[in-house]
Amino acid sequence: MNPEATINILRVPVGIYTMDTLLARIEDLIAAPGCAVAYGVNAHVTNLTYHNPEFLEALCQADLLYPDGASLILASRLLGGHLPEKLTTTDIWPRLCELAVERGYRFFLLGGEPGLAERAAGQARRQYPGLNLVGTHHGYFDFRDESLAAEINAARPDVLWVGMGDPRQVLWAAAWRQQLEVSLVLTCGGMFKIVAGELERLSPQWRQKGLEWAYRLWQEPGTWRRYLLGLPLFGMRVLAQSVRGEQPPAKSTGEPSVG
């Protein structure tokens, strides 16, 4: 399987990866010069692109897009492709933490309400002794704040985890990547609450059945529009794409970027 193959899901070129090939791609991006950006794609993300062309453009210019949701796996099959597994960012986190301890990667956590990133960092240090977390910052800042980029650059992280929700986290990363002296920006939505131990995940056997969204809805009822309205809308849009026959077979880009 070529790790640079993609499948077009509602105009978004989602990369075809297993966890192992995804981690290898992430390590390649960390080792490469410049600042790369990587985003997880789910039903909510693709729905947002219909009302925000700038968001869609930012996604298509990413260096890495991966399927962060069971709905993407089902959509790929309906469209005649095959995404081998759901690659939730909260499952990538522990694997990358282990690699960071081994390789010496430096992490910076950006996002959440004041204090959340610090609590997540503290828990991560306890869980992964030797993990080098070089800085944290909350997500309540002015989009044009130049001092934030300077603070991040001064800490010299290899991976900048940005947890501010979409589309804000992607649009910020796209706007500032040229000014950031980091190897990789990896967006992670609300993951810091899970890392800090303030939000529980569904058990692995139920996550494999694609029911993590229901558990998230139960814990955070305010997300009901995203799931109860967004998932059926996503399904109808994918069905319409399938009927129109717009999905070509999975292809290799032959280039570092999926955009």
Q: Residue ranges of the domains in the chain?
A: 14-249
- Cβ-contact 43, 115 below 8 angstroms: no
Looking at residue 203, its pLDDT comes to: 54
Looking at residue 205, its pLDDT comes to: 54
Looking at residue 244, its pLDDT comes to: 87
Average pLDDT of adjacent 10-residue blocks, the chain of 259 residues: 76 97 98 98 96 97 95 94 94 97 98 98 98 98 95 98 96 97 96 90 54 53 61 93 70 35
